[in-house]
Structures are given as structure tokens and as C-alpha cells.
A and B are shown apart, each in its own frame.
Chain A
Amino acid sequence: MNGGAERFERFEGFGRHERRQVGAGDDSRDGSGGRDGGEAVPPRVPAEDGGQPVPEPLTAPPVLAHGVLKALLGAWALAACSAQETAAVEEHLGTCGPCADEALRLREAVGLLHAEDSLDLAPALRTRVLQGCLDRRAPRIPVPDWVAPYDAETARLDALLQDIGNAEWHAPVRLRWFEGDRPVSRRTTVAGVIAHLLSVDGLVAVALGLDDPLPRAADAPTPTARTEAYRRASRFPPSRGVRGPWREQSHALVRTASLTSGNSGSEKLSVSYGDFELPLRDAMLDRAFECWIHAEDIAEAVAYPYEPPAPRHLHRMIDLAARVLPTVLAERRRAGLATPPRQTRHLVPAGSPGRSLRLEIEGLGGGEWLIPLDSPAAVGSADHAVAHVALDGVEFCRLAAGRVSPEDAAAGQEGDREAIRDVLSAAASLSRM
């Protein structure tokens, strides 16, 4: 706004109303006379500084009043001017044809203003539309099955982000996971969660030969160290500006993974998380899982409904967890966190059926997995099942994400208590920042 240099003007036709205050900066523009669509409007006569009303010049032309009233037509049509101005405009419309025409047009235009329908597009519509397209024209480069969950989950999260306001980006979120069987958590914000996803997705980006989103290298290639490195490199706490880079990277990952899929050798690509590695395909699935879980954190923080992934995607995520459980069990056993194997009874050679836990996942996306208990090299076997655990698919994922503790997980249990506790604890230990 213009500071002190205010000027007062009186206009013919407005004289009986209040003196109107106009920013000094306007004079130059008025002086150009081009404001009313190029019509020859005489420049306003600037009043003297000092606030004294000046006598109206004898030549104060009615055409000036016309210009002023015409400039008010938009505000008038929107009922956004004072009562006096409204009356003045309406009086003028009775005598000025062009203004009356414009007034009518602008009033009609107001009728076209609508509150934007904030129709949330159903996530299922994306799948339906894309599938419909692909049925009509087969793609030369499809999005492979193992990329589809990541594609769908990032799209779902992005739709949520599109709908939240500026302030909500700073809503507090608590990241929760298990470390050595103890629940830990860290405070961040919605934007902080997206920065975290951007940083950790970057592991896959780098494995695929894309740019690393981290401006400076992390101390270690672990999710935690990378998240920390990103935070340290940012001068300000993350805000909604992080959405663009995150979305660009997730699109680039889908695209590059799809292009890579056709190449021989993509099978051999793996992604290092620092203390463990996952084949590229599993890493993409892992990132889809993390995207969903963190989207739920965000949805909860901003009180927004959020559905679980499509059943076929959920199934793949559960399958990934079930596949890594035997290795995790073995590691935990070495670390003294799980019961030693009963080697006296069941020493199994690699590739042979071993003592197993039957993991029954209920609900959409569910299924049954046999988890070998004593060695990752053993094969799960129904004949050697010593325990049976049944739980809902989403509950199992929350357990694996550290959102539910092994004790609190609503699981039907039957059989060897130790085996059950070991497997549920191992599932919880899959969680990380």
C-alpha cells in the first residue's frame, strides 16, 4: 500500500458522497487513459496535497464520472460497493446504454461463479480409467505388476496432499517404529513425512541411476540417516513445497522401473538400505508399503479418511513381509531376541520342510503363508506346523509397520506360544523410521 502520500479527489457526480481516498500510485495509471479499454478518458485532475478540498474545476466533465462509474461495474455486479456507490451506479445505468449493457453482462457472469466442487476423485477411478485405456490400446511399455502398488499408493497420497491446506502441512505427526523390541517415536510434521518419503525413496532412485534427492551425502545409506541428512541440508523446516520434488521423483521411479523391466539385468538390480538389501522389485513394494503407512499417519493428523490399498496390492505387501520373516527371525535369534531353534528335534537341511508357523491373513488381500521357524533355508511346511496365527491383513501390516505392538495385535493364536511370540515380534521389528 502507498504510505503517506495520499491525495484526495472529488469527482463530479460523487460530490454529494464522501470524499474518496485513492492511493497516490493510481494517478499515473489513470493519466495514461488506457484503463477503460483504450477509451479516451481525460486524466483525473490531481488535487493539491494537504487534504484541502479543492474547488471543482469548471471543466470537470461528466465523462469523468462515467469512467469512474464504469470502473465500479464489476464491484457493483458483485454487490461489493457501498450503498452510495450502488445508488450512483444504478442511477447512471438508467441514462447510459453502454454501461447498462455491460452491467447486464457482468451480472450474468456473476451467475456463472460456483463454489468449486471439491469432489474427491475416488482412487478406484484412476485404476478404472487407466485399465480402460490399456484395454483399448495395449501399451508398448507397460507398468509391471511389481511397480503397480507403488504407482497406486503414491497417486493416492498425492490426491490427499492436493486437498490439504497450507496450515495442515505443519500438522504434527508422530513417526513410530520398534527398535530392539522397544517402541520408539519421533515428532515431525506432514511436510516432514513427505521429506522422509522423498529421502528414502531416493535409495531406489539412486539404484536406478536417477538423481539423488539429497543435496549432500548422508552419513550412512540407511532410511534414518538419509532422513536426517535431508533435514540438516534444509535451511527451513519442510513445507508444502516438498510435494513437487516428492511427486516428481515418484513419477520418475515408476517410469524408470517400467523402462528397466524389459531389460535383462533388471532382475539382478538390488537396493541397499545400509544394513540389508532388497531386490529392486521388493524395494518398490517396500516403498509402496511405506507410502501407504505414512499416508495413514498424515490422514490421521489432518482428520481425513484413508482406505487400505487395493486387495491385490495389499496381498503383495503382506507376501513381502512373510518372505523376509524367516531371515529376520534368524537375525533376531543371533541377537538373542528370539528363542533358539530346537535343533535336537528338528535339524533341517536347506530346502527341506521345517518346523513352521501357519500365518493366516484374513480379509481382502489375505491368504496363507507357512513361515519356517528354525532356518531361512528351510521350506515352510503344513505338516510341520507347530502354531497357527490368524489376523486381519491391515492389522498385520500395522504390526509390521510398528503401529501396533505384538502384544496388542488382534491375532487369533493356537499352538506353540514361543513360536507365535517370536514371529509377531519379528514382524514388529520389520518397522523402521
Chain B
Amino acid sequence: MATNDAPPRWDRRMQQRLAHGEAAALGELYDRFASLVHGLAHRVLGDEPAADALTCDVFAHIWEHPDAYDPHEGPMRSWVAALTHRLAVQRLRTTGTAALARGGEGTTEDLERRVHRASAAARADYIVQSMPTPLRAALERAYFQRRDYRQAAADLGITEDEARRRLRLGLQLLSTAHHTGPSGVPPEHGGAR
């Protein structure tokens, strides 16, 4: 999809149109980011109705606070991803804490582990989606299509050396998903204000 390389101009115009209260802009925003938002929400929360509800929250947040996004601080896509991530982790923690308070099973530590796992999984999804296409293509061959690196190299028309390099680099990027900031927001996402 071309959405990954959207020019910053689109981000800037979108922010202005949202601030101006243009409902058509909200529709375009949804069309561009709904699958990103819903996908990340689903990865963290693990169920469809909760992901739907969070998708509502994320877009409502953006619509109500159009100035929260500053185009100078990075692409809107990363900002939306970070906001979704933050709100989803928050919701998981809140519902988990509430369940514990009602006498649900497990301990606070279990909950924290669950939150951490879900958070890393969602961040990993985002990393895979936004990593350079050559790296993603190599990972897809090796992991999903179970090709060895020599076959992957042949498939992709690259040297075996390059195939090894891409697999290693792709996984290195992916492994940063385990790094968490204090609020569960990955620093590379810029954070949501």
C-alpha cells in the first residue's frame, strides 16, 4: 500500500482539516488508519468487541484533539500507532486490574506479564508493518513460507549473503519490540500527546 510512503503534506493537510472540523476528513482518516488501529488494538486486547470499542476511542480522541498531533514531530501514522498502543495497553491494564479487584484469578505480577506480552506483540506487529519492504519480504519467505535462506535469496533475486543479512537485521529490528518505555509507549513512536 502506498499509505506507508504518504507525503508529510498529507499529514499536514489532514491535521488542518480535522482542526477545521471537516467531517469528510475524519472519513479519510478512518479509511487510511482503521486497519492499523484495529489490528494493533486486537493484538493487545485479543478480542473483537474490545478492539472495535478501542478503535472508536482512538478516532474520537484524534477528532476531539486534532491539535495533539504535531506534523513536525513525525509521520501521522507513527503517532496514530503510538496513541493506539498507549490506549490499548491502558485499557488492558484497567480491565485486568478491575477483574483482579473482583477476585479474578492470578496476581498483579501475572497481569503485568500479560500486559507486557501483549504490548510487545502489538509493537512487533507495527515494526513488521513499517520495516523496509526488502527486510519484510525476506522474513516472510523464511518464516511464513518456510524457505531456507538460499531459497529465499533465489526467490528474491539477491545474494545469499544479502539474504542472511536481511534476516538478521529484520529480527534485530523486531527484537526492539521488547523495549518498553515507562508508559508502555515505545520511544521510537514518538509518543502521543
Contacts and interface: CB of A to CB of B under 8 A. Distances in A.
A267 B110 CA distance: 62
A56 interface: no
A5 interface: no
A23 B158 CA distance: 9
A137 B60 CA distance: 9
Contacts of A112: 120-121, 124, 174-175, 177
B175 A106 contact: yes
Contacts of B63: 133-134, 136-137
Contacts, number: 185
B22 interface: yes
B20 interface: yes
A122 to B, nearest CB: 8
Contacts of A108: 175, 178
A121 B34 contact: yes
A139 B17 CA distance: 11
Given A74-B167, A244-B2, A80 B147 contact: yes
Contacts of A80: 142, 147-149, 152, 167
Interface residues of B, number: 61
B164 A75 contact: yes
A64 interface: no
Interface stretch (B24-32, B81-89, B101-109): B24-32
A383 B142 CA distance: 74
A73 B28 CA distance: 42
B147 A115 contact: no
Interface in B1-30: 1-2, 20-28, 30
B143 to A, nearest CB: 5
Contact residues on A (Cβ < 8 Å of other chain), bracket: 35 or more
B172 interface: yes
B42 to A, nearest CB: 6
Contacts of B120: 112
A140 B25 CA distance: 11
B77 interface: no
Q: Tell me what chain A mostly uses at the interface: helix, strand, loop, or mixed.
A: helix
A295 to B, nearest CB: 15
Given A121-B35, A125-B55, A133-B26, A74 B171 contact: yes
Nearest to B34: A121
A35 B165 contact: yes
B70 interface: no
A158 interface: yes
A128 B143 CA distance: 37
A121 B28 CA distance: 15
Q: Nearest 6 A-B pairs (CB), nearest first? A: A74-B168, A140-B21, A74-B167, A112-B124, A23-B159, A139-B23
28 contacts: A1-B158, A22-B160, A23-B160, A25-B159, A29-B161, A75-B149, A75-B163, A80-B149, A106-B172, A109-B174, A112-B121, A114-B125, A117-B43, A119-B38, A119-B42, A125-B34, A125-B38, A129-B55, A129-B60, A130-B59, A133-B56, A134-B26, A138-B21, A141-B24, A142-B23, A143-B23, A151-B27, A255-B25
Given A23-B161, A125-B34, A125-B52, 17 more contacts: A22-B160, A80-B152, A82-B150, A109-B124, A112-B120, A112-B121, A119-B48, A134-B63, A137-B21, A139-B21, A140-B21, A143-B23, A143-B24, A155-B27, A254-B27, A258-B24, A259-B22
Interface of A: 1-2, 21-23, 25-26, 29-30, 35, 71-75, 77-78, 80-82, 105-106, 108-110, 112-117, 119, 121-122, 125-126, 128-130, 132-134, 136-143, 151, 155, 158, 162, 244, 247, 251, 254-255, 258-259
